[in-house]
Amino acid sequence: MSGGKRMRAVLASPVVVLCLCGILVVSVCSQAGSGGTLSWGPSIPGPLSRSASEGTSSEEDTAASRPLAVFSDVEEGWRREEVSLLSQHFGDTPILISFSRGGPRGGTFSSMQAEYALRDHFHYTVGESFEFVEYQDGEEPLAIAVRSYRFTEEDVLYHDHVQVVLTREDDEWVISEIRAAED
């Protein structure tokens, strides 16, 4: 079995959890976004579909569970092409944005510039799907999504991976990187 097929087989399993060098890596199949439960760290439950505003118990509302709330908003915002769901998680930290197609090829932007860059991206593309499939815990949590999209003037369907990285700013998690790379 080739490396690519092996990776797809791993991603197709219901939930794969590996602990490597103290970093929790979680890979979730498509059912997790539709009602499945994802654990973020030891015994800290949190369904990905729950947003921070839906109210959680104080036990669930820990520093470790907040990245999932941010990633949930990002996923929903990308699916609905609603920039405000992403930009609410921009802080004072400059945001690195890089798209292989249909957006900045790479650069660091203020929160306002990043918001305009994403608005332009959503204006010129039509999202077909966006779903986080991998999460990594740590000092800078990250999530990787698989995405399908078209340009508004084309009929070609493109596929890529979008990586979103968070960083701490005061007591909040904010988006510090959004990178898209083709498969």
pTM of the model: 0.66
176 touches 163 (CB < 8 A): no
By C-alpha distance, which of 107, 113, 116, 135 is closest to 38?
A: 135
pLDDT in tens, 9-62: 333 333 333 333 333 333 333 333 333 334 343 323 333 443 344 444 444 455
* Rounded Cα–Cα distance for residues 92 and 174 (Å): 9
* Rounded Cα–Cα distance for residues 65 and 46 (Å): 7
111 touches 91 (CB < 8 A): yes
User: Which domains can be identified in the chain, with CATH numbers?
Assistant: 59-182 (3.10.450.50)
**Which of 22-26, 55-59, 69-73, 164-168 has the lowest average pLDDT?**
22-26
111 touches 87 (CB < 8 A): yes
